[in-house]
Amino acid sequence: MSVMDRRLFLKSAAALAAGGTLAPPPAFADPPVILNLDTRIIEVNGKPASVLGILQPDGTPGIAIDVAQPFRVEVRNTLDRISLIHWHGLTPPYRQDGVPYVSAPPIPAGASQAYDFKLDFSGTFWMHSHVGLQEQELLSAPLIIHDAGAPAADIQEVVVMLHDFTFENPDDILAGLKGNPTAKSATTPKAATPVAVTTGSGMSGMKAAGAKPDLNDVDYDAFLANDRTLADPAVIRVDAGGKIRLRLINGSAATNYWIGLGGLHGTLIAVDGTAIRPMALGATMPLAIAQRADILIDLPAGAGAYPILAQVEGKPDRSGIVLATASAPLARIPLLAAAPSPPLDLALERALTAAAPLAPLPADITHEVPLTGDMQAYVWMMDDQVYPNITPIMVTAGKRVELVMQNKTMMSHPMHLHGHRFQVVGIDAQRFPGAVRDTVLVPPLKTVTIAFDADNPGSWAFHCHNLWHLAAGMMTVIDYAGVPMPYLPPDAAG
């Protein structure tokens, strides 16, 4: 469907959309889990910070449920503005996917929205607002789905959610990145580096080939693990010699990390909630924006305190939590590592193998998706288009689809596909059966190919998960042929 076709269709569907809610709310057999979108105060760098949160009435952030249960949730928007929550990594019916104007209208201030769908798999997922820059204000939370049956009694689960944090208003930061700084924010965001200006011509990548990668567009005030900095980290009590299942979630808006386990021996068992062939980890592992990692750790016998650290890509800054036995003394951990970390790379990605790979089939449909940008104007593109002015990528139900993402810029892009789990099947010219996941990093000037089976008809967001890139246009939509498109962003439809 062309953009114009979508507009025409939208107008014919306007009556449906006018009521605000397309699908009737599901009839609940059991009471749903209530998730309130709310404001809360946390302390950062010794100062109170007003942030947002997704909290159950008892204050629990997010949700942890059994895979055998339905995902039966009521989101109550108690904020003074619209919002909508996306269930990152799940594969719901598309109208419950939580992308404004693609899957559903936003939830008005003071209103609620019900969700009810069957879960297909367990794993470590998360939820976050897909509206504007609310994710930068920490409107996100863990979404943990346990295996059916009783949990393994001898394994202690530890969920660690990472955030980048700023005291600035995110709108001011975006204006600064776009070269229209407000007086308040003029000095905070780093000036955009004028490298890798490409609009997708075949040669443009070469111009950028000698330029330096650009790692972080925004200078953050802090990096949080479970809402705390290393000045006062979360200390999680563990048993000497115990087994730990770490569920790491990078909920940062725009920060990639290197995870360090200190001297502990860790085994990576899942990425983005999906099992891999278990792999012993070295000293560090990369965790890109929006990715998750499940790591099994056997703690040493005897008392001890074990920091689990996340160091910012390209910087000495870090965050983390501490696993500590009851009697262990806690040493202060410096906020800065001895040296900045290197850029993330694909060495680990290349080595991962899915526990249950896709059937080895040739692609029925292949789309090349150039990732381009104009750093000076701060416009980022997929498919040479700036969202919301896009023509969707069309797929057909039942087909094997491959997306070839060619990064022609000097920034990395953590690319996320909604509604499907994909397999990483290629890096540059090398083909391999890699991990099944939902978010993959495409480093500067690299090409990453992903494959998925078109088995969830609907209209699905496909975008860069760096929030600033997303806000600057780096999103497109994957449509299934024959599935009507109920929504389109108002400014594209206008």
| Nearer of residues 185 and 466 to Cu ion, judged by Cβ | 466
Strand order in the sheet with 318-324: 235-237, 318-324, 305-312, 257-260, 284-287
CB of 288 to Cu ion, least distance (A): 10
User: Is the CB of 309 or the CB of 464 nearer to Cu ion?
Assistant: 464
Q: Which residue shows structure tokens 């000495």?
A: 316
Cα 349 to Cα 286: distance, rounded to the nearest angstrom = 9
364 vs 384, beta carbon nearer Cu ion: 384
Q: Give me the least distance between CB of 75 and Cu ion, in Å please.
A: 27
Amino acid at 359: A
Residue in this structure with the two tokens 């109170």, named with its chain if needed:
48
Single out the segment in contact with Cu ion by CB under 5 A; choices: 39-47, 338-346, 409-417, 435-443: 409-417
Minimum gap (Å) between residue 460 Cβ and Cu ion: 18
Q: In angstroms, rounded to a whole number, what is the distance separating the alpha carbons of residues 51 and 61?
A: 13
Size (the chain), residues: 494
Q: Which of 469, 472, 477, 486 binds Cu ion (CB under 5 A)?
A: 469
| Residue among 409, 405, 414 nearest 206 (CA) | 409
Taking the alpha carbons of 144, 147, 148, 154 in that order, is the dihedral positive or negative?
negative
Nearer to Cu ion, 88 or 413 (CB): 413
x/- binding map, residues 356-395, to Cu ion, per CB under 5 A? Answer: ----------------------------------------
CA 171 to the chain's CA centroid? 20
Give the nearer residue to Cu ion in terms of CB position, either 94 or 462: 462
Does the footprint of Cu ion cover residue 285 (CB under 5 A)? no
Q: Which is closer to Cu ion, CB of 86 or CB of 469? A: 469
Minimum distance from residue 296 beta carbon to Cu ion (Å): 31
Site string for Cu ion, 421-460 (x = CB under 5 A): ----------------------------------------
Task: Kindly state the smallest distance separating residue 371's Cβ from Cu ion, in Å.
Answer: 7
Q: Which residue has the tokens 């269709």?
A: 9
Enter the DSSP assignment of 135. G
When asked if residue 416 is in the footprint of Cu ion (CB under 5 A), the reply is: no
Using rule CB under 5 A, residue 464 touches Cu ion: yes
Size of interface with Cu ion, in residues (CB under 5 A): 4
Q: Are 382 and 470 in contact (CB under 8 A)?
A: no
Distance CA 122, CA 131 (A): 26
413 binds Cu ion (CB under 5 A): yes
Residue 247 touches Cu ion, criterion: CB under 5 A: no
Q: How far apart are CA 40 and CA 185, in angstroms?
A: 23
Provide the binding-site residues for Cu ion, judged by CB under 5 A. Answer: 413, 464, 466, 469
